[in-house]
Structure 1
C-alpha cells in the first residue's frame, strides 16, 4: 500500500470507530437488540459483497451452454446475454471459444488462440487483409490440422490469424457452410450435418 491508501484506511478506521462509539453510547439501554440488528445488517452486507464478487462464476454456472445431440447430428448454441452465439471448438487439441459471426467470411483466430492451438505466431506472414467494422486489419493465412465441434471433425481447415487485438476468435462462413442446415429460432442457433 502506498501512503495515500494507508491514509485513507486510517481515516476510514477512525470514522468507523467514531460511528461505533456513538452507536453504543446512544443505544446503551437496548444494546442486545441493537447488536443483533447490526449483525443482521453486517451479514446482509457481506452476502451482497460475496454475490457481487462471485457473480461471474454464478452466471457461468446458470447460463445455458452449447448442447450436442450426436445421435441426431445436431448442435445447439444458446443466445448469450450479450446477444451473440458462442461455440467451443477443439482446434488441434485445444479448446477454443468462438463467437459465431455470419458476417465474417472465414475463421479468424486471435494470436493467443492460435498459439494454444500449436501455431507459431512469430513466424506468420501477415500479408493478407480483412475488412472489419473497425476498418482493415492484417491477417496471416494458416491451415488448421484438426477442427472439431462436437461429433464433427474436419481436417485441413483454412483460417486466418488476426494481427490486431481481438477478444474472441471468429467462426465465419467458410466453416459454417460445412453444415447442411443452419437455423436461428427461439434463442438458439442450430447446426446440423
Structure 2
C-alpha cells in the first residue's frame, strides 16, 4: 500500500465515521428501529451478492431445458437468454453440451469434449480446415460410435474435432438434417424424426 492509498483509506474511514455518527445522532430516539432496518438491508445486500455469485451454478436448474417426447420422436429445445439453442446430447455414452448452429455444416467437438468421449485429441490428424467467423482453424475428422438424445440414436456419425479454442461443441446441419422436420415456434426449436 502506497502513501497515497493509505491517505485515501484514512479519508474514507473518517468520512464514513462522520456519516455514520450523524445518522446515529439524528436517529438516537429510534435506535432499535434503525438497527432493525440496517440488519434487513444488510441481509438483502448479502443475498443479492450470493445470488449473483451462484447464478452460473443454478441457472441450468432454473432455466428450462430440452424436452424429449420419446413416443412422438420429438425434441423441444427452448431458446436461451442469449438467443441460442443449447442441447445435451449423449456422445459415446457421455452427455455433452452443444450449441445448435444452423450455420455450421458439421458436428464439431471441442478438444476437451473429444477427450471426454474417448478420443485422444493429441493423436488426431488435424489436416482439415474450417472457415469460421474467427478465421480459419484446423480440424481432424472422427467417427462417433453413438449420438443419442433420449430414444433417438444415431450410429457411426461423422464429426470433426477443432484444433483451436471453442467454448462449446457445435451441432451443425450434418446432424440436424437427420430429422424429418425442424421448426422454430416462438422461443422453441422443435425437431421431429
Do the structures match in fold with TM over 0.5? yes
SS at match of 2:51: helix
In structure 1, the residue matched to 2:177 is: 177
Separation in structure 2 between the aligned mates of residue 21 and residue 97 of structure 1, nearest angstrom: 54
In structure 1, the residue matched to 2:137 is: 137
SS at match of 2:144: strand
Query: In angstroms, what is the RMSD of aligned CA positions?
Result: 2.3
Separation in structure 1 between the aligned mates of residue 139 and residue 26 of structure 2, nearest angstrom: 69
- Does residue 134 of structure 2 align to residue 155 of structure 1? no
What is the aligned residue count? 189
Deviates more, 1:46-55 or 1:137-146: 46-55
**Per-residue Cα deviation, 1:102-156 (whole angstroms, up to 9, x for no partner):** 1111100000000000101111110000111122110000111111112111111
**Per-residue Cα deviation, 1:70-120 (whole angstroms, up to 9, x for no partner):** 010111111111111111110111110111111111100000000000101
Q: CA deviation at 1:22?
A: 4.8
Give me the TM-score of the superposition, normalised by structure 2.
Answer: 0.87
SS at match of 2:29: coil
1:1-193 maps to which residues of 2 (within 5 A)? 19-193=19-193
Separation in structure 1 between the aligned mates of residue 169 and residue 14 of structure 2, nearest angstrom: 50
1:165–1:24 distance in 2 versus 1, CA, 3 Å: same
Q: CA deviation at 1:21?
A: 4.7
SS at match of 1:30: helix
Separation in structure 1 between the aligned mates of residue 33 and residue 87 of structure 2, nearest angstrom: 54
Separation in structure 2 between the aligned mates of residue 95 and residue 124 of structure 1, nearest angstrom: 22
Q: CA deviation at 1:24?
A: 3.5
Separation in structure 1 between the aligned mates of residue 99 and residue 33 of structure 2, nearest angstrom: 54
